[in-house]
Amino acid sequence: MDALLFGKKIMLFRILTILFITAGCIRPKYAPREEVNPSVEIKSCPYKLNSGKCVSLDWEVQPTEEDFGQFLIKIWRPNLADETEVLEEIKEDVTLFLWMPSMNHGSSPVTVKKIDVGTYRVNDVFFTMPGEWDIHVQLKINNEIKDQTILPFTF
């Protein structure tokens, strides 16, 4: 009888071992360093609104996991002669929000303040967790979206 009980214990041990092997010990795959660098490379007309206007982003204060960040958003068109920035006067309200597309949730609200023609300072920029985020730029009239674009960002 003891042999039978011992056999049962061995069988249970085997089952648990197989379960462990099947599931596999976790193998971390750390994100490459360049992916977590919180900066957006600015190229000529890096992002376009649906209307064709260009949007660029300049970080003034990099956000961290503890502190707010701050950046400038510029809305412009390429100069016809040399494609340099010609800032555009925007008649719509410029709004922004942050969104994590993989989990489909946002972050805390940002504040947007017009600084100059086509130039807006965005404060209170905070990403609640590391990962891939979208910065949604929307131009609205009476809360209705007239134009928009998305700036991907890895935090």
Partner 1 sequence: MKLKIRPFYHSLFSLIILLGILPQNCFSSACCGGGLVSTFLITGDDKAQLNSVYSYNRADFDIDQNGYWRERNYDESLESLRFEAAHIIFDRWQAGISLPFIRRTRGNKTSSGVGDLSTTLGYEYLPDWNYNPFRPKGIAYLNLIIPTGTSLQEADQIFLLDANGRGFWTLGVGTLLTKGWGIWDAFVDLGIHRSFPREFQNSQTQVSLTPGWGENLAIGGGINFSSLRLGFSMTWINEDQIASSGSVNTNGSKQQYTSLDFPLTYFISDEWMTVIKYSDKGIIGNPRNISLDKGVAFQIQRKWPR
Q: Is 46 in the site for partner 1 (CB under 8 A)?
A: no
For residue 59, state whether it binds partner 1 (rule: CB under 8 A).
no
Comparison of 29 and 91: residue with beta carbon closer to partner 1: 29
Distance CA 2, CA 8 (A): 10
> Quick one: 95 or 119, whose CB is closer to partner 1?
95
Residue from 47, 134, 144, 153 binding partner 1 (CB under 8 A)? 134
* 61 part of the interface to partner 1, by CB under 8 A: no
Assess 8 for contact with partner 1 (CB under 8 A). yes
CB proximity list for 51: less than 8 A, separation 6 or greater = 147
Token readout for 28 is 């971390």
- Quote the radius of gyration of the chain (alpha carbons, Å): 25
Q: What is the DSSP secondary-structure string of 36-70?
A: H-------SS-EE-TTS-EEEEEEEE---SSS-EE
Residue numbers at the binding site for partner 1 (CB under 8 A): 1, 4-5, 8-9, 12, 16, 19-20, 23-26, 28-32, 35-36, 65-66, 95, 97, 99, 101-109, 126, 128-132, 134, 136, 138, 145
